[in-house]
Amino acid sequence: MSTLEKIRTKIRRLTGRPSANQITNDQLDEYVNDFYLYDLPEHLRLFTLRTTYEFMTEENVDVYTVPDPDIYYNVMPPVYISGYQSFFSQDREQFFRLYPKLSDITTSIVGDGSVGPYSFTLSNVPILQNNVTIGVVDSTGSTVQVVDDPQSRTSGNWVIINTTTAVTGSINYITGVGTITFANTIPVGNEITITSVPYQAARPEAILYYDNQITVRPVPDKPYKVEVNAYRIPTELISSGDHPELDQWWQYIAYGAAKKVLEDSQDPEGVNVLMPGYKEQQKLVLRRTIIQQGNQRTATIYTEQTGFPYGNNQQRF
């Protein structure tokens, strides 16, 4: 059976360390999982590790963090939103050229010689979270720069940029109603400038994957299911009886972990002796993916226009 215990035994034979006094099982397991979780998925993009990352949008929320980048280490097209194939981008310039974040600027409120509270209502709503700013010169002559800090999908508080000075108040992203109280007084007549990014909610048609976050456009008007292709890391091997996701991988994992042991031992000759077997096992592991993908030609924009068996057989499937 292709268990963790069998992988340990193979590593001991490959490295000439049959005794636990030379290297413990815990140390071997660290080498095994370092190779299995981090090296193997990068060396080989295996069909077995392809999956679908899914999440549900929320009404009036446009940015979603991929929960664990150490699990979903690649996110890629195609993407489907509520079943509709949608646009996928990893380029902020491209995405925001198509869906620009254009700000409204409001200067209708001015200082009255107090710290506040100052109340306002934005006319062009709803507005994007993390895109509301307030700027004003206070009685000390300093420019106060405030940004919103979302607390829910409908409301947020205020945070001053690059300082620990406190401000209080809130902003409602749906109604545009807000209040703010500053730490220092605002001189009479000083303009309080508010910028915000309005939007019209609808079913999303595009996503941007950037900085481990997914931004959707248009901003959702209700929950929608988003499905996007991804590669995931395999499951860690912990117990002696644990198996790799495919039993076929066990020798490749053993060779990879043994290579790491010899590298850390500063044994280049041992590494060189190991490499032919390592490369052979790597080819065997990759063979399954090559055969699987070889059953279907690369899809193009013309694929569905050709006749059966290469096309869509008169739109019947």
pLDDT, block means (10 residues), the chain with 317 residues: 92 93 94 94 87 93 85 88 94 94 90 92 93 92 90 91 75 95 92 94 95 94 94 91 92 96 94 94 88 68 54 50
Chain Cα centroid distance, residue 313: 38
pLDDT (0 to 100) of residue 74: 85
Which pairing describes strands 177-181 and 118-121: parallel, antiparallel, or unpaired? antiparallel
The verdict on residue 128 lying in a domain is: yes
The verdict on residue 89 lying in a domain is: no
Number of domains within the chain: 2
**Residue recorded with tokens 């790491």:** 260
pLDDT (0 to 100) of residue 47: 85
Q: Are residues 250 and 187 in the same domain?
A: no
Give the integer Cα–Cα distance in Å for 303 and 196.
Answer: 45
Q: Are residues 170 and 115 in the same domain?
A: yes
pLDDT (0 to 100) of residue 266: 93
**Domain limits for position 185:** 104-196
The verdict on residue 54 lying in a domain is: no
